[in-house]
Amino acid sequence: MQWRYAARIAGHLATDALWAPISEAALSGKPSVFLRATSIVPVSRIAAAVHYKLYGARRGRGRPIHQSTWDYEYEHNRWSLLDTLDAVAGNMVIAGWLYRLFSAPKILDVGCGTGTLAHYLQLLPGASYTGIDLSSEAVSRATARGLANARFFRGSMEEWAPPEQYDAIVFGQSLYYASDPLAVLRRYSSSLTEQGAFIVTIWQAGNYRLMWDTIERQFSTVACATVITPPGAANDLRVLRTRAQISGATDTFERA
């Protein structure tokens, strides 16, 4: 049922607007900081949520979430579901695409969380993996996995500068936290190899159709799948290439 996933997203946004800033202020031990957090900060975040609902969502935009919220949620194990059986199918689709399309791929995972996808990609021969995430707590937990050929960095997807080129850049349930998803993809496209591709996954909730429509103004879908996870939430997965790559291709998009 889509409403169940919508309820989960609503709880996530409530954490961003209220519980995370209040908790952060309480931990500071300073009454003045706590008072500000229970008045000014939540109001500003609620205002940002309302502005997004009325303006950004209708234009295929995403909504950034504060780093403190992500840290709070990872510290309280809010995203442990990413390592459950429910998440296996989506991650294996991504791993399968990477295996079919590339030999020993170099992968960048933008919004890597605690490194769940990196764990699955250990199955790919010769793959090397770089993950970035806004949350320091998530990066710490990802690094603690001790995975071979995997490294993790803290950074904002809208500011982090890729130091090299990659065969695949993955945005797994992360692109809708960018204020302008299309601009983010355009920026990262210069960090793809000549035959490189994006892999983007977006839940079928909120303004996901508008977001896909906006993205496909400049990027073409070359493979797609939909994974249904309990209790009925649908996850769209797509392999994207730039229009320039498609127009310049002389053969099918197959394993490099």
Residue 137 CA to residue 215 CA, distance in Å, equals: 30
Closest to 175 (Cα-Cα) out of 127, 217, 207: 207
Please, are residues 215 and 208 in contact by the beta-carbon 8 Å criterion?
Answer: no
Reported as a single tens digit per residue, the pLDDT across 67-98 is: 988 998 899 898 898 899 999 999 999 999 99
Residue 12 CA to residue 134 CA, distance in Å, equals: 16
Prediction pTM value: 0.82
The sign of the dihedral angle between the CA atoms of 83, 208, 60, 97 is: positive
What CATH superfamily classification does 81-248 receive? Vaccinia Virus protein VP39 (3.40.50.150)
Burial class from Cβ neighbours inside 10 Å (0-12, 13-18, 19+) for residue 153 reads: middle
Q: Where do the domains of the chain lie?
A: 2-77, 81-248
Reported as a single tens digit per residue, the pLDDT across 165-205 is: 999 999 999 999 999 999 999 999 999 999 999 999 999 98
Give the pLDDT band of residue 37 (cuts 50, 70, 90): very low
